[in-house]
Amino acid sequence: MVFRVAPGVALVLAGVALAGACTTDHESLSKRDWGSGGSLAGEGGAGGGGDAGAGGGDAAPDAPTEPSGAFRLRVLNGMVDADRVRLCFRVKLESGDDAWIGTPSPASGLPYGAILDVSDLPWQPATQGFETFAFAGQLELLGNLDCARALELVQGSGPDAGGSGGASGSGGASGSGGVSGSGGSGGASGSGGAADGAAGAAGAGGVDAGVPDASAGSAGTAASDASAGSDAGGSDAGGDASIPPPVLRFARLGMIPPGSLLADRSYLMLLSGCMGGPSFSDASEETICGKGYSDVTPTLANSVVELSRITQPMRSGVQFFNGSAAAGESDLLSVPTEQASGSPISVASRIVFGRIAPRPPNLDYPASSYGSPLSGVELQVFAYGATTPGVTTNWQAALGGITLENEKNYTVVLLGPNPGFAQQGWWQAPRVVALPNDP
């Protein structure tokens, strides 16, 4: 069956739970079939949400047809509980076999709020599935390993592992998973791990997300398998000082099914929510990571949205993508400060998590109407009904050095915890980024 990404609706992907009950049999775990999955989020689900309100989430009946262009797929890191990740990609071939692509990328890690362009990877969207794996923690332990050996390392089942990881839980009807596995012990010599002789990833663990209930539009949640290692260091700083965070964590995210994406469109894949694991807990954890989160029930998911290329002469198009699993209905305004020209502009209103709107983009204004200089024009995100913004940045910072132009479109993305929630621990702060729809 061929899935299509409905206009304004995210293709919300949760990973696939391993078959069977929760287990700590590490040897048998490493031999299990990974399976395949992925579903199209429907109205009312975590990816589809309800009606988008004034901003709109679906294309108007008389909306113009999307123009053809080059295939573009970019990944935006909005994972809340790590400062950076490395990503691996695996293709499901027409034969049913799996093929890894390259090494964990980028080598230095993809920072929170940064984008990785994967448009040129050797993958055929029409006939092949596409899976994403995320790694967090002491990423230097991955060294120059290829993706297959990196996964073996964090699972504790390969020749490079310093110890065994915890077992994965199976997904429930709504994707919630089992309890955390037990931690692994270090290698005989206390070393190993990456090929360059770095310390072994003792007790490194993973996350395997639950299968979503497609009929309910559920995004699914992840079953935590991250187990505490003997090394409490690393880039992940947990919330409970008595429980060291895992040396490495990983998550297997959902597959983009064959035929889901069109070869002439531009897409954005967003990582959102939290991977979880021991020590990644807080009294306000659902405000940070989204509803249903705990250190053993992660909310990490990947969603794919199409970025519109519909333009108008002498107009700059803008869309708003609510990518915060912890946020409710949100409004986006562009507001010039006293140091800039321009007019206040309401871009979109009442946009729920996983929705991009409006579609076509807001094409009511030329680039000059947003104001100049862009460093003096604020992007303000409000919780619906609030009188003060929860998160604010300026256009220049959000765009990362490029500028607004006519006959081009841009998408503004909300990331992170509920807007307005301060960064005080292991989580990243709420953030707003912007990117061109057709770079």
Residue 365 CB burial class (10 angstroms; 0-12, 13-18, ≥19): buried
pLDDT of residue 61: 65
pLDDT of residue 255: 96
CA dihedral 31, 192, 138, 425 (to 10 degrees): 90
In a domain, 217, yes or no: no
182: nearest Cα among 14, 17, 29: 29
In a domain, 232, yes or no: no
CA distance 271 to 118: 14
pLDDT of residue 401: 87
The residue range of the domain holding 371 is 316-436
pLDDT of residue 416: 98
In a domain, 310, yes or no: no
Residues in Cβ contact with 126 at an 8 Å cutoff, skipping those fewer than 6 apart:
258, 259, 263
246: nearest Cα among 176, 296, 172, 197: 296
Number of domains in the chain: 1
Please, are residues 110 and 132 in contact by the beta-carbon 8 Å criterion?
Answer: no
In a domain, 223, yes or no: no
What are phi and psi for residue 53, nearest 5 degrees?
A: 75, -145
In a domain, 239, yes or no: no
Q: What is the DSSP string of 217-276?
A: T----EEEE----S---SS---S-TTSPPPSEEEEE---B-TTSS-TTSEEEEEEES---
pLDDT of residue 60: 64
In a domain, 345, yes or no: yes
Query: Which element (helix H / strand E) includes 287?
Result: helix 285-289
What the block records as the tokens of 347 is 């871009």
pLDDT of residue 210: 34
pLDDT of residue 162: 38
In a domain, 105, yes or no: no
What the block records as the tokens of 211 is 């299968």
What the block records as the tokens of 164 is 């065994």
Instruction: Identify the segments of the chain with pLDDT beneath 50.
Output: 1-12, 14-57, 157-205, 207-234
The CATH code of the domain that includes 345 is 2.60.40
pLDDT of residue 194: 38
In a domain, 414, yes or no: yes
